[in-house]
Amino acid sequence: MLYRHSSDMFTQYNEQMRGGKGTVTVKHLLKPEEMFGKGRLFAELTIPPGASVGLHPHEGNVEAYYILQGSGRYQDNDQFYEVAAGDLTLVDDHDSHGLENTGDVPLKLIGLILFTGDNP
């Protein structure tokens, strides 16, 4: 059984995350070693208005974003999508993605990175 109080979760403040703009807050819900070798990230990300996670590739893993709050512009390779609370995105292995907060409130999401079996 695992119980972790919110204040005990490791929080990072990433400046220009993956080449993006501003500071993205990453609150790690699980540590990589708690993911049974199946993934490396399960976290809540907060992207302030005007900030972004830059376009970046995934090799050997996939990443899902589940949008909790706010709105933004999601990029999957060369395609763009408007996203809002309740939406889900999934970048495939060997593809790239990024996300920009285009709204006027913080964009909050759950990020989950799972290994595909290729180069974990």
Short-list 45, 35, 48, 119, CA closest to 89: 45
Distance CA 13, CA 31 (A): 16
Do the domain assignments include residue 119?
yes
Distance CA 30, CA 10 (A): 9
Do the domain assignments include residue 60?
no
Residue 119 pLDDT > 80, yes or no?
A: no
- The 10s digit of each residue's pLDDT in 21-63 is 999 999 999 999 999 999 999 999 999 999 999 999 999 999 9
Distance CA 65, CA 90 (A): 6
Do the domain assignments include residue 65?
no
Tokens of residue 59, six digits: 């090799």
The residue segments making up the domain with residue 118 are: 29-43+79-120
Do the domain assignments include residue 89?
yes
Do the domain assignments include residue 83?
yes
Do the domain assignments include residue 86?
yes
Domain count, the chain: 1
Do the domain assignments include residue 117?
yes
